[in-house]
Homo-oligomer: A and B are copies of this chain.
Amino acid sequence: MIEGTTADETAEGTHTCCESPGDIDTDAVATDLRLLTAMGNDTRYELLRRIANAGDGVCVCDLEAAVGVSQSAVSQALSRLYSAGLVTRRKEGSWRYYEPTETAAALLETLDDLRGSRA
C-alpha cells in the first residue's frame, strides 16, 4: 500500500499544482508504525514512562498498582511494548523485571525535548 502508487501516475486528471512526492520504504514504515502504535495508548505510554523513570528494572506487580487496569491488561500492554522493541524483560525468580530499550529512551527524550521547546 506504500511503495507503488496504485493510482495511475499519468492519470487524465487536471492536477497541475505540484509534482508527486517520493515513495517511502515499506519496512521502515512498518517498524515506525509498530513503535508509534505501541506507545500511542494511555496505558502503554504510562507503563513505558514508569519503566523508563525507574531505569533499573521494575516488576509488573508494582506497575499494576499504578495504572488502574487489571493485571491481565498490564500484562498484555507489556507484551506489546516488548514486541515493539521498547522494553526488555528479564525473569528473576517468579518476578519479571522490565527495562526500557534505547529506542524507548530516544523517543521519550525527543518527546520531552519537544515539550520543553514548546515546538
Q: Which residues of A contact B (CB under 8 A)?
A: 1-2, 5-7, 9, 11, 13, 15, 17-24, 28-29, 31-33, 35-37, 39-42, 45-46, 49-51, 53-54, 57-59, 61-63, 65-68, 95, 101-103, 106-107, 110-115, 117, 119
Q: Which 7 A-B residue pairs are closest in the complex by CB-CB distance?
A: A36-B40, A21-B50, A40-B40, A37-B40, A110-B110, A102-B119, A7-B65
**Taking the full assembly, how many copies of this chain does it contain?**
2
Q: How far does the Cβ of A39 sit from chain B's closest Cβ, in whole Å?
A: 5
Main secondary structure of the interface of A (DSSP, over half): helix
Interface contact B65-A20, CB-CB below 8 Å: yes
Residue of B nearest to A20 (CB): B62
Kindly list chain B residues whose C-beta atoms are within 8 Å of the C-beta of A62: 15, 17-21
Interface contact B35-A111, CB-CB below 8 Å: yes
Q: Which of A9, A35, A40, A58: most chain B CB closer than 10 A? A: A40
Interface contact A39-B42, CB-CB below 8 Å: no
| Alpha-carbon distance between A62 and B51 when the two chains are bound, in angstroms | 42
8 Å CB contact of A17 from B1, B95, B113:
B95
Interface contact B29-A33, CB-CB below 8 Å: no
